[in-house]
Amino acid sequence: MRRVINKLGATLSASLTLMLGLCATIVVFIATSHLEDDAVSLDFDRRAALRTFTVQRGLEEAVQVLSTINHFYATVGDPTRQQFRNFTEPLLERYPYVRAFAVHRFVADDDRQVFEALRQGIAPDFQITTLADGKQERAPQRPFYLVVDYIEPISSNRSALGLDMSANQTFRQALETALASGRPASTLPIRLVQLGADERGLLLLQPVYRGGIQPNNVDERRAIMIGDTAAVLQVTELVSKILDGAGLLGDEQIGLRIFVGPQADESSLVYRHDSAMVQSHAQLATLGNLFREPSSIMTSFDIAGQTWHVEISTPPRSVFSDHYGSLLILLAGIISSLLGAAYLRALALRSDRVQRLVEEKTAELRHTNALLSDDIKARRLAERALQLRHQAIEASANAIIILSAQEPDYPIEYVNPAFGRITGYSPAEAMGRSIRFLEGRDSDPGGFEAVWNAMREQREYNVVLRNYHKDGSELWNDFYIAPVRDDNGAATHFVAALYDITSMKRYEAELEFQASRDTLTGLINRHMLRHHLDQAIGNAERQKQALWLVFVDLDRFKFVNDTLGHKAGDTLLRTVAGRLRAAVREADTVARLGGDEFIMILPEQDELTLDTRSLQRIMDAVAAPIALGGHTLFMTCSIGVACYPADGIDGETLIRHADIAMYRGKQTGRNNFQFYTPAMNEQALERLRIEADLRGALENNEFLLHYQPKVDLASGRVVGSEALIRWQHPQLGMVSPARFIGLAEETGLILPIGAWVLRTACVQCRRWQLGGHDDISVSVNLSVGQFLQKDLVTSIAEVLEDTGLPPASLELELTESLMMTDVEHAIGILGGLKELGVRLSIDDFGTGYSSLAYLKRFPIDVLKIDRSFVRDITIDADDAAITASIISLARHLKLRVIAEGVETDEQLDYLRHYGCDEIQGYLFSPPVPAEKFEQLLRQERAVV
């Protein structure tokens, strides 16, 4: 009876233990299964993104190398075939997925025979052909042909030489797209003569323009286009080589389909790579829920005007292949539950079980003793094999590393001699450490994390890492790691191979820098500016924010080049570039457009619009003194500002409008900033018209001089005049100097115009003197261009000699900012002028930034108070104080002082009270022609 009760109790305990164990196992199994599903999904997303990025990057490199070929062809002009071959050969080796590089040239029908005859000297059977119904034949007569004139490599593409592409609608659509955008464009997949009948290819096109320049609008580009450069791509081969170069082609678990065109359908399919199990999909589907549905991701991107669609997929996978862990947990839980239940019953049978185990172990020992001699022989053979492998590893040129599989550090247990040569660390320094000791402060943490994930998952992995040599230098390496498993399949160690690719990375970085950076200043260049501007516009559009484009142009930069030389000019540009970079935020972009022109991209941040103080900070940074070769320069700049989207929604428009605003700033006196307004477009058109007419104005005798009297306050008599130029335009009438003087300075016409003004004014003044007005003088304004002439003093001396005007009767007016640009140079020129005996005057005094230390060194005779101070001296205490100070300063320096812009009696009284010597202004007389000025002299009009 007791035996029955004990047996029932043992059975009940075992059943309860089994039920509790199974419930816990099921809960853990479900939770682990969800985690495994998430891991599979994330891994697929990562692998899909990697392939899409690799394909896109390869295509972008093809577009970039086409731009390199186009730039070469545009720069050389019309290279020889050997030059074209020499330039393209290394590019074809570097980018093996490019089938060929070609140049298409426009040939008129009238020139066809001559063109064919010239090319037959290179290829005896050369003729202009076309592709009709898949066959190549002589092209029919057309007004013009777009002929394949250059193609490399010629050996595998000879059939395309001379092929006329003008009738190919797909080709012409791509060429029109390139013309409209000003950037490379791609065709849709087309039939190429050098490929098989069932193969299709793509052509990347970029127009070539006469003279190597690219105009700003489509019509001008179409008018001077002479042909195009093209990169020939066989799509299947292209994608295969791109993926193969990245080591992604051999993955049989990933399916890849690529479409080119607006829609991703079978008609636009250009590449297909099915996974290993895609053919058995139908059979797998019959197994029902034992296999998952295939996963698929579709990604689209634009390359050279065409949309590429990349579809990444995986085949159906067994639910068991992705749930090893959860199934193992389920199995282990069931077994543990069963064992726990069985344990209670096993107590009664323990003696029998022990006996059975003893018998089994005894049999195993007998069998082991029988095989011992065989094991010894096998071990000797294994030792010899291990010794050979060790010697091979020691002799390897690549670094070989053996790591323990012990988490979390996976310490290093062995490194070969190559490791020390590559990294600089001896084996003793590496032993026992984590491989991450090679990681630097700015290494890619994601790369090492991926290696760590691979080791945790006990799988192979390959990645490019940036590490650091022992001496601190950068070390790029191609890192491959794989698990070493024991007989039971468990990973006990990891073996890693490290291949040094530092030199290759440096070369790639140098090429990238040269392609995107201005070599003089280090700022991004015009080409990369387009890319940054497009990105900034995209970000502004997505975030619904404004974007400011600032166009900076240095004032009178030509002065530095002409006086100090181009080397000093280069130093100045580098200094200004550094100041501009420091004057803006880290997130802002500064680029050099060319010459002395800079572009700044200022995105809106923290809901703040552009502050004019930011523009003033930029101007102040440029205006700070610059020491060059013993000279101290004070540069200024003119700034134009355009805003996205108010002033334009694309980069070209924003740059053009900012340029227009900058020129408006130059017209209003330089050293200021202007915001673009639509009215400036009309002013720019008017500027073009005035510039064209200005070139013939001097020859057509359209200029004349007006003279404004200078009145001596002590005697009340007219003692001099200021010669002011006017332009009598045939259509526009009398044109103010404000509308054309700045333009004349920019175009260089100011030199002949200034020489005409000087000679005409001297002739007229001498006539007045001979007419009985012996003490009359004339003052003439000198422009920057005239001041920079090396023969300035000689030319003025010749004018005085030719006209007979006494030197003391000529007064030369120079602006304060002109002399302060290069003080030492200005002092030398002024000294030469003083030796002639002419009088020197500083015009617009008080508006610049001269100091008394420099002022006392200038051999000047007259200070001229700017009209901006005179205008408000009776109502503005500051202007009154400044005017009084200038008069007092002139007295102490023994200089005469003249005030311009005097229009009221109150202003006259104030100036007379403080001892001003002379005045000129509308109170006495506006500028008048020479005849009327002579009448004023005869009337002997006095100032009341």
pTM above 0.75, yes or no: no
Residue with tokens 């500064």: 590
Chain segment 454-467, per-residue pLDDT in tens? 888 888 888 887 77
Per-residue pLDDT, 196: 67
Cβ(455)–Cβ(410) below 8 Å: yes
Q: Please state the separation of Cα 823 from the chain's center in Å.
A: 37
- What contacts 266, CB < 8 A, 6 or more positions away? none
Spatial separation of the C-alpha atoms in residues 643 and 583, rounded to whole Å: 19
Residue scoring higher pLDDT (757 or 749): 757
Average pLDDT (296-318) is 84
- DSSP secondary structure, 925-944, as one string: ---EEHHHHHHHHHHT----
Q: How confident is residue 801, by pLDDT bands cut at 50, 70 and 90?
A: very high
Instruction: Flag whether pLDDT at 306 surpasses 90.
Output: no
DSSP secondary structure code for residue 876 in this structure: -
Per-residue pLDDT, 941: 45
DSSP secondary structure code for residue 66 in this structure: H
Cβ(898)–Cβ(712) below 8 Å: no
Cβ(616)–Cβ(627) below 8 Å: no
Spatial separation of the C-alpha atoms in residues 497 and 462, rounded to whole Å: 9
Question: If residue 600 lies in a helix (H) or strand (E), which one and from where to where?
Answer: strand 597-603
Per-residue pLDDT, 764: 94
Q: How confident is residue 605, by pLDDT bands cut at 50, 70 and 90?
A: low
Spatial separation of the C-alpha atoms in residues 938 and 932, rounded to whole Å: 10
CA distances from 907 to 378, 714, 871, 899 (A): 118, 16, 8, 10
Q: How confident is residue 285, by pLDDT bands cut at 50, 70 and 90?
A: very low
Spatial separation of the C-alpha atoms in residues 235 and 202, rounded to whole Å: 7
Share of the chain above pLDDT 90, in %: 18
Nearest to 530 by CA among 73, 55, 181: 181
Residue scoring higher pLDDT (196 or 60): 60
Spatial separation of the C-alpha atoms in residues 203 and 827, rounded to whole Å: 63
Residue with tokens 């064919």: 116
Per-residue pLDDT, 2: 55
Per-residue pLDDT, 290: 57
Weakest mean pLDDT among 211-225, 435-449, 801-815:
435-449
Per-residue pLDDT, 799: 93
Per-residue pLDDT, 607: 45
Residue 810's DSSP bridge partners are: 778
Question: If residue 362 lies in a helix (H) or strand (E), which one and from where to where?
Answer: helix 350-395
Cβ(636)–Cβ(622) below 8 Å: yes
Residue scoring higher pLDDT (10 or 296): 296
Instruction: Flag whether pLDDT at 636 surpasses 70.
Output: yes
Instruction: Flag whether pLDDT at 682 surpasses 80.
Output: no
Weakest mean pLDDT among 78-92, 233-247, 584-598:
233-247
- What contacts 498, CB < 8 A, 6 or more positions away? 398, 399, 400, 401, 419, 422, 423, 477, 478, 479
Residue scoring higher pLDDT (728 or 509): 728
Compute φ and ψ for 192, nearest 5 degrees: -110, 140
Spatial separation of the C-alpha atoms in residues 922 and 115, rounded to whole Å: 72
- Strand residues in 667-809 grouped as ranges (E): 673-675, 703-712, 718-729, 733-735, 777-781
Instruction: Flag whether pLDDT at 566 surpasses 50.
Output: yes
